[in-house]
Amino acid sequence: MALVLEFLILSLSIFLLFLLIKRNRTPKKACLPPGPVGLPFIGNLHQLGNSNLHEHLWRLSQKHGPLVYLRLGSRPALIVSSAKMAREIMKTRDLEFCSRPFLAATKKLSYNGFDLAFAPYGDYWREVRKICVVHVFSSIRVQSFRSIREDEVSRTIEKISKSALACKPFDLTTEMVSLTSTAISRAAFGKTYEIGGSDTERFLELLVETQAMASSLFLSDYFPCWGWLADKLTGMTYRLEKNFEAFDAFYKRIIDDYLDPNRPKPEREGSTILDILLQIYKDGSFKLQLTLDDIKAILTDIFLAGTDTSAITVNWAMAFLMKNPEAMRKAQEEVRGLFGNKGFVDEDDVQQLSYLKAVRNRTPKKACLPPGPVGLPFIGNLHQLGSSNLHEHLWRLSQKHGPLMYLRLGSRPTLIVSSAKMAREIMKTRDLEFCSRPVMTATNKITYNGLDLALAPYGDYWREVRKICAVHVFSSIRVQSFRSIREDEDIFLAGTDTSAVTVVWAMAFLMKNPEAMRKAQEEVRGLFGNKGFVDEDDVQQLLYLKAVVKETMRLQPTVPLLIPRETTKECSIVLEFLILSLSIFLLFLLIKRNKTTKKACLPPGPDGLPFIGNLHQLGNSILHEHLWRLSQKHGPLVYLRLGSRPALIVSSAKMAREIMKTRDLEFCSRPVLTATNKITYNGLDLAFAPYGDYWREVRKICAVHVLSSIAVQSFRSFREDEVSRIIENISKSALASKPFNLTTEMVSLTSTAISRAAFGKTYEIGGSDTGRFLELLVETQAMASSLFLSDYFPCWGWLADKLTGLTYRLEKNFEEFDAFYKGIIDDNLDPNRPKPEREGSTILDILLQIYKDGSFKLQLTLDHIKAILTDIFLAGTDTSAVTVVWAMAFLMKNPEAMRKAQEEVRGLFGNKGFVDEDDVQQLPYLKAVVKETMRLQPTVPLLIPRETTKECSIGGYEIPTKTLVYVNVWAVGRDPENWESPFEFDPDRFMGSSIDLKGNDFELTPFGAGRRICPGIFIALFTVELSLANLLHKFDWEMPSGMNREDIDMNDVLPGIAPRMRDDLCLVPKAYATGHK
C-alpha cells in the first residue's frame, strides 16, 4: 500500500513539474508584453489583493508600460492602459480581441453565453447583436423610454424636495439605485420594484446578489482542473446556483404573465423590452430563433449593466462637484441660466448643457499603463486581487508597470488596460479580436449559461441577441416610450445600480465642491426656476449639468473595470511594426483598406467578390427593389462594397431617422461622383455639393432668394397657365374620343413651367428649339444616373470609362448644355434686349442680380448660376411629371379611390372652370392620394446618395468615413412595421393622419429630410396637386379600346433618377359635364 502511495505521489509530482516547465517555457517563446514576475502555479494572482484593482493595475502600467502581461493561474492576461494600445485592441485589431472569455459566473448567469455582453465572438454573437441593435437598443427604441426616465427623475426630485423642506440629509446613493432599478424594470417589463414597493426586497436582494456573483472570483476560471472543487468547498458554487435559480424563477413568473392570453391588456402594447423580445421570439423573423433562455440572458445583461453603473456615475459626479465648488458653480449656473424658470430639465434640454456633459466625461480617468507584477507559482497574480476596490489596485499597478499590464490569474492570462490610447486600441482598432466574453462561473450561471447580451461570448448567438435588444428593447422609440416612467425615476439603459450610483457619485462630488454645486444649481434654476419639474427635454439645455456628469464619469466611471473581454486568437500589439508598415504603405494600400473594412464592426451584407465587391449584384435594372430584397435578408442596414468604396443601404424609418435627423451632421455630405461633379461644374450647385462652408452659403442664397415661399408663389401663374394649357389639349382629345398620352404631356408641362420660371422661355413640345432642349435634358438625366467605373475604381476606372465611350458622352453633353446656358445668360445680360414683362421675375434674373451685387459672402460666378440651374432642371422635370402619372395609374387600378377623389373635387368646385392652387388646399383626399402615391412609388426611390463626413457609429455598427449612404425610401414605404397592408393602394390611411411629406415623418420622406431635404419640395407639391386636381375635376378616364385596367403594367420600370413605367400611360378622357351624376 505504501509503495502504491509513493508511486502516486511521484507520478503526481512529475506531472505537476511537467506542467510547470511547459507553462514557463511557452511564454518565453512568445514575444509577450512586459509584466511583473509571477510565482509558480498561481502566476500573478497574489498581486491582485488590493481592493482598488484598477488603481493597482494602473501602478503596474506606470512601471511596465501601456501593455502589461500577467498570468492569473493558468490564464494569461493583458492589461491595457493607454489610448494608443486601446485603439489597437478595440479598433485596429478588434476582430482578434473581440471575444469574451467563458467565466464561471457570467456563463451561468447568461445561460451559457446566450446574451450579448458576455457571449464569445462568433456567428451567434453577431446575430444577437443584430437583434439588439435593430430592435432593442436602436435610437428610436431608446427615445421611446424617455418618458420613463423623466418620470423616475421627477419622482426622485419630489423626494429630495421633501427632504429639503425638512432640512434632512438625503441618501443619494440609495435613492439613485432605487431610481435606476425602478426605471429599468419599468422599461424591461412595465413593473416597478422601487424601495418600499411590493416584492421590492426580494427583487433588490436578487439583483445585489447577482451583481456580487458576477464580480466574484471563481478559482475555476483560473485553474480549470481543480478550481471547481475549490469553488464548491468555499460555497461559491452553491451561492451561484441558488441565485441563478431564484432569478430564473423570477423571470419565469414575469414571462408567464406576459404570455398569458387572459392577462389585462397594457396601456401601450409592445412598449416594453420584454414585449419586443417576446414578439421576436414568436415571429422567428431573425436567423437566430430566440428561446426564452435567450430572453432571460438579455434581461440579465440589462439589469447587471445598467443598475449600479448610472447611479454610481451620478454619485461620483456629485461627490466631485462637492469637492470642487468652482465646477459646481459653473454647472449650476449653466443649467439655471438656460432653464431657470423651467420646472423640469428634460432630455432635450440636457443636450444644451455642455459643461454638465464635461462633468460626466471627466469623472473617470485613472490610468497610464505598465507590464505586470510578479506572480506566485500556480496561482499567478490571483493573491493580489483580494481587495474590493480592484480598479484602484490595478490602477496603482499600472502606475508602476504601464498602461498595458499583463497578469496571470491562476491559469488564465489577463490584460489590464489603463490608458485611453490602449483602450482605443482594444475596443476600437482591434475590437474584433478583443470583443468576446470569458465564460465565468458566476456570470455564466446568472445569465443562464451566457444567454444574455452583456456576458455572452462573441459569436452568432451574441449578434442575434444584440440585434433583438438594439431593434426592439433599446431603440430610441422604445426609450422614449418609457419617458413617463423615467420622469418618476430614471433609466440609463445599462441597468439598475449603474445609473443610481452615478447620480450618487455626482451628488457626492458636488457636495464636496460647493462652487460646482452652485454653478449647477444656478444653471438649472436659472432656466427652470418657476417650473415644477425638469423633464428630459429641459435637461438638454443644461450644459453645466452635463459637464458635471462628464466630470463625474471621468473620476468615477460607473464600471471602473469594463466587463472582461477575451481575445479570439493570438495577436500582437507592437506599435514599432507600424514603421515597417508605413515603408510599404503604397504597395499594400488596397489590401490594407480591405482588411481594415473587414475588421470593423460593419452592418451585415451579402458576400462580395474579390476586387469588385458587390458591384456584380447591382445589375438589376430596378435597383431599389433589388436592394429591398437584400434588406429583407440582412436587415435595415446593409453594407456593400462597390469596388473600393463602402456603401450603406438604409431600408427602415428608424435607421432613416438616425441618419437624416439624429446623426444628420455626420451623414449630410455628398460624394464626388464623375457625372454629377461634371454637370454641376465641379460641385458648384446645391444638390450635389459636399457639405461645408460653400454648401451653406449656396443653400442660404437659394433659401432666401430662389426657393423662398415668396419666390415659389411668384411662379404660381406659370404653373396654373401650363396646367390650363394641358387641360385644353386633353379637351381636344376628349372631343375626338382619342387616347391621350399623359406621360409625354406631363413631361412637357413640367419642363415648360420650369423653363418659364427659370428664364422666361418655353420649350414645349412643338415649340421652337424644343427638340434640342429636351434631347439635352434627357441625355443629362441619363448621364447623372449612369454608372461610371471611375467612381468605384479611381486608379483605373477612368480608362474603362474612356474605352466604353461614357467619358466622351459626358463631355459632349456638358459642352452642349454649357453652350445652351451661355446663350440664355448672354441674352439676359444684353443691355439692348427687349424688356421682359416682369423685370426680375425669373430665377435667372434673381441669380444674375446677386451675381452683380455681390451681397453674399460667396461671390457668385456664371458657373455657379449654371450649376444651380442644372439642379432645377434635373430635380424638377421628370420628378413631378412621373408622380402625376403614377398617381393616375394607381387611381385607374383602384376605381373606388378614383371615385372618392373625383367626388371630393367636384363636390367642392363642380361649377368652377379651373381648380387653382388655393382651391387645392381644401382637398384632403386628393392630398392623401398624393401621399399614398409617394409612399408606394416615391419619385426618387433611392435618395441622392449621402456620404459620411467621418467614421461614426449607427445602430451599433461602425460606418467608415467616405461611405456612400443610400436611403431606400421605396423600401421604407413598404415596411410592414410602419404600414398596415403596405402593398395596397389605400389613400384613406392618411385621412386624419398628421403624417406629411416635409421630412418630419421618416416613414414617408420622398423628398428626403434634414439638411439635405429637397429645397424644391413646395414647387413639386404645388405642381403635382394642381395637375391632379384638374385632371380629376374636368374628366372621367377610361382605358383605350381593347384594354382593361389590369393591362397597366406598374412592375416594368425604366431606370433613371425618377424611374417610370416602361410603357407610356395612355388613357381616353371623357369630358365631365357640370351637374352630371
Q: Which residues contact 609 (CB under 8 A, 6 or more apart)?
A: 616
Q: Contact 133/453 with Cβ under 8 angstroms? A: no
Q: pLDDT digit string (tens) for 407-466?
A: 888 778 888 888 887 888 888 887 777 878 887 777 777 777 777 777 778 777 777 778
- Tell which residue, 770, 768, 767, has the closest CA to residue 778: 770
Grid cell of 5 as nine digits: 502511495
Of 1000, 1009, 936, 996, nearest in space to 967 by CA: 1009
CA distance 139 to 452: 21
Beta strands, E only, 48-196? 67-80, 103
C-alpha cell at 771: 427638340
Say whether pTM exceeds 0.95.
no
Q: Give the DSSP letter string of 154-210.
A: HHHHHHHHHHHHHT----HHHHHHHHHHHHHHHHHHS----TTSTTHHHHHHHHHHH
Which tens digit of pLDDT belongs to each residue from 913-927?
889 889 999 999 999
Q: Which residues contact 842 (CB under 8 A, 6 or more apart)?
A: 756, 757, 758, 759, 760, 836
- Grid coordinates belonging to 103: 467565466
Distance CA 851, CA 698 (A): 12
Q: Which among 236, 968, 313, 364 is positioned nearest to 655, based on CA atoms?
A: 968
State CA 180 to chain mean position distance: 24
- H-run or E-run covering 337: helix 325-339
Q: Tell which residue, 337, 311, 322, has the closest CA to residue 543.
A: 337
The pLDDT assigned to 969 comes to 94
What amino acid is encoded at 633 in this protein?
K
Place of cell 448643457: 353
Residue 33: name the closest of 498, 407, 508 by CA: 407
Smallest CA-to-CA distance from 609 within 641, 577, 648, 571 is with 641
Supply the pLDDT for residue 962. Answer: 92
> Is 1014 marked as a binding-site residue?
yes
Side chain identity, residue 670: R
Dist. CA 38–CA 113, nearest whole Å: 31
Determine the Cα–Cα distance for residues 715 and 841; give it in Å rounded to an integer: 8
Q: What is the pLDDT of residue 556?
A: 82
3-state helix, strand, coil in the chain (%, to 5): 55, 10, 35
Homologous superfamily (CATH) of 683-760+836-938+986-1077 is Cytochrome P450 (1.10.630.10)
Domain boundaries, the chain: 135-332+339-360+465-555, 589-674+959-972, 683-760+836-938+986-1077
C-alpha cell at 200: 421590492
Instruction: Read off the C-alpha cell for 835.
Output: 424688356
Which residues neighbour 748 within 8 Å (Cβ) at sequence distance 6 or greater?
726, 764, 765
DSSP tally for the chain: helices H, then strands E: 46, 18
Closest CA to 781 of 558, 1037, 1060: 1060
Instruction: Tell me the C-alpha distance between 377 and 593, whole Å.
Output: 45
Indicate the pairing of strand 1035-1038 with strand 1066-1071. Answer: antiparallel
Residue 365, pLDDT score: 41
Helix or strand or coil: residue 792? coil
Could you tell me the three cell numbers for 487? Answer: 420622469
Please name which of 102, 192, 114, 791 lies closest in space to residue 484, comparing C-alpha atoms: 192
> What averages of pLDDT result for each successive group of 10 residues across the chain (1077 residues)?
45 52 50 86 71 80 89 89 89 86 83 83 83 77 80 85 86 82 78 57 74 78 74 73 84 81 64 80 76 83 75 85 88 82 79 77 44 71 67 79 80 83 81 79 76 78 78 72 58 56 85 90 83 80 87 82 72 42 39 48 89 77 86 93 93 92 91 92 90 90 85 87 91 89 89 85 57 79 86 84 82 90 86 64 85 79 90 84 93 93 89 88 93 92 92 90 94 92 93 89 92 89 92 91 87 82 90 64
Per-residue pLDDT, 923: 92
Residue 699 CB neighbours (<10 A): 17
Which helix (DSSP H) or strand (DSSP E) does residue 800 occupy? helix 797-804
Helix axes 325-339 and 308-321, enclosed angle (nearest 10): 110
**Residue whose C-alpha cell reads 508598415 in the numeric block:** 581
Contact of 404 with 80, CB cutoff 8 Å: yes
Contact call for residues 715 and 846 (beta carbons, < 8 A): no
The whole-number pLDDT of residue 158 equals 84
806 residue type, one letter: L
Three-state SS for 787?
coil
State how far the Cα of 32 lies from the Cα of 572, in Å rounded to an integer.
8
CA gap 609, 346 in Å, rounded: 49
- Strands in 451-497 per DSSP E: 475
Quick one: pLDDT at residue 889? 93
- Give the amino acid at 307: T
